[in-house]
A and B are shown apart, each in its own frame.
Chain A
Amino acid sequence: MSQATDTETEAQDLTLVQAVRDGLYGEMQRDDDVLVMGEDVGENGGVFRATQGLIEEFGDDRVIDTPLAESGIVGTAVGMAAYGLRPVTEIQFMGFIYPAFDQIVSHAARLRTRSRGRFTCPLVVRAPYGGGIRAPEHHSESKEAFFVHEAGLKVVIPSTPYDTKGLLASAIRDPDPVIFLEPKLIYRAFREEVPDEPYTVPLGEAAVRREGTDVSVFTWGAMTRPTMEAAENLAEEGIDCEVVDLRTLSPMDEAAIVESFKKTGRAVVVHEAPKTGGLAGEIIATIQEDVLLYQEAPINRVTGFDTPYPLYALEDYYLPEAARIEDGIRETVEF
């Protein structure tokens, strides 16, 4: 970025999905070993257009339309990564990632350990996750916890276009496998200024989206927006929320969680994944271990229900929205 310090940085207003595309473009330009592979990513530009135009720029050796086989996509990418390439795979929807689960957890995550570092797996698995887009069954899952539980993987979920490009660049340059989950609900929800030049946002660092003193609200991805909305609404009632967007779920920014909680002594965790076994439990356990004596109230979890994700007619009831998040925060603050 140094070349742009004394002039105005070239930038464009991009949506989150455009920032994915821009991030891929930049990394493919700076490193010939980076390639994109998946279903319909070539001529079609991806079902969400996240790879639009890349095949014209980089050719079909680097933007590869694969047969319809998730395990084959990730499994062959593990071999490519071991050989020295940097494949970025696209799984069309997170609900279709399960055929590749074995390749991700049994192989990508373990290759470095298995070979004592002789082989590494600098692989990115991109997948749009989460609900709210009126999609068929299996298109709305939010199963980040599966991957956070697996040692050897990193898990990233951006919530803004700027972060998306920077975190994706970090994920691609990372020496270890990264699961990069994209909040498809907000793929086109808003625009943000994104520099044209490649840049990185470091993995493992949370971002405080709103500073506050009464309660810390920890969230990520598509839930960041309704959480911010809830925080603004509660401000009118005199409740001052701090909203922390974790951005990377593995490794989690424990220091940021602890720092915020020490300030507020109260916390709420918001995620759209089911409550039981969800990451809210991990965050709360971390707070208990590290800063129990700062705690002034039970920590609330505002999450999806412990049911299979419904078909779309009822999905808006399933997903936490501002009213439900406000209730959860109010309960914690008023304890």
Chain B
Amino acid sequence: MTNQGSLGDDASDRVQVLDDAGHVLEGASVPDLPDEQLVEMYRQLWLARHFDERMISLQRQGRIGTYPSLAGQEGAQIASTHAMADEDWISFQYREHGAVIVRGLEPEYLLYWMGHERGNEWLAEKNVFPLNISIAGHLPHATGMAWAAKLKGDDRIVTCHFGDGSTSEGDFHEALNFAGVFDVPAIFFCNNNQYAISHPRERQTASPTIAGKADAYGIDGIQVDGMDPLAVYEVTRQAVRKARDPADEQCRPTLIEAVMYRFGAHTTADDPSVYRDDEEVEEWKERDPIPRMETFLRQRGLLDDERIDAIQEAARERVADLIDAAEEFEPDPGQLFANAYESDTPRIREQREAFRALRERHGDEALLEDE
């Protein structure tokens, strides 16, 4: 069960550092991280969890659109992002808010969920590619970006997040196949949360593990406890190092399967009680990354009740400030036409002008009336 943090040969050999209660497993080695960074990871776990709760609540109040919940999966995204350099690119599906939190959450990120492309534009400042709603469509992009970095002689690597459902898509196959053939510095990070909306992992593929699929592409595959931040950090760190600077005979790309569970619904539009039992959810909550990290840090003497209260309070204040700032944003309707092409085509010029005249004639209130 415990593979001591090295990229094992057997994909079913799941890497774990902390047990379900947060105690370091016998024989496992804890990543050599400064105390402040370990506490920072914990702080970010709380920020992600609280952000998630508030976003769901905002959706219920009609203040944001459909939102995919992250609870239960934060540890994998936060720890894997800590293992990368800030200049390395992240390409994500849509649920991986934890990765964004590590790169520095700002009000702009909330704007995406409020229906503004500005959120995606802002992600680029954090070296995060626009999030991708179509499942697995971004995997070939990650391969291409990593390939371009290699061709240009840049030192950057790309980590691409996706879910278990993505692994059934053709683009998963094509992206990993190209990555292997052209040996590109990419990490394919599968957040296996057991369900693609309602469809369970075991009905997604007959493969015993997702990590094992790496064999078909001649690249390394590794399975890790995705709710164990320390194990995820260690596995990702090694994959990053190998992508950047492979030893002789080593391939650059790695497929990481992080085994985890989505505590909440697929999105705010989903009702998981239709397809899974509470009992199953409760069982997985035993492995919640937050209390595990908390136990570990308490044992190291890095956390106490007082510090935890302060961290939670700071997270609440931070998210409240982010929401206030995001809700002040006023979109410019002219943006509709701004980025279809670099320069307006004759038709777009004509439609832009017609739209301007339409707004002037009727006023926005009339145009935005429902029904």
Which residues in A have some Cβ–Cβ distance to B below 8 Å?
A: 35, 61, 64, 66-67, 69, 71-72, 74-85, 99, 102-103, 106-107, 111-120, 151-152, 154, 175-176, 204, 250-251, 254-255
Contacts and interface: CB of A to CB of B under 8 A. Distances in A.
B178 A118 contact: no
A120 B178 contact: no
18 contacts: A71-B170, A71-B174, A72-B140, A72-B175, A75-B175, A79-B140, A79-B147, A82-B144, A85-B151, A112-B340, A112-B342, A115-B121, A116-B339, A118-B130, A119-B124, A154-B341, A175-B341, A175-B342
Interface residues of B, number: 41
B346 A78 contact: no
Given A72-B177, A75-B137, A251-B346, A116 B335 contact: yes
A226 to B, nearest CB: 29
B121 A80 contact: no
B140 A71 contact: yes
B142 A79 contact: yes
Contacts of A152: 340-341
B10 to A, nearest CB: 27
A69 B177 contact: yes
B140 A113 contact: no
Nearest to B121: A116
User: By CB atoms of chain A within 10 A, which of B144, B146, B148 has the most?
Assistant: B144
Contacts of B137: 75, 102-103, 106-107
Interface string B103-137: 00000000000000110110110000110001001
A250 B140 CA distance: 26
B341 A119 contact: no
B145 interface: yes
Interface string B145-164: 11111011000000000000
B135 to A, nearest CB: 11
Given A67-B178, A115-B117, A176-B341, A83 B124 contact: no
Nearest to A106: B134
Given A75-B141, A83-B144, A255-B346, 20 more contacts: A71-B174, A75-B144, A75-B175, A76-B141, A76-B178, A79-B145, A80-B151, A83-B145, A85-B151, A103-B171, A106-B134, A112-B341, A112-B342, A113-B117, A114-B130, A115-B121, A115-B124, A119-B130, A152-B340, A250-B345
B141 to A, nearest CB: 4
User: By CB atoms of chain B within 10 A, which of A78, A83, A152, A175 has the most?
Assistant: A83
A102 B133 CA distance: 13
Contacts of B130: 111, 114-115, 118-119
Given A72-B175, A76-B140, A67 B145 contact: no
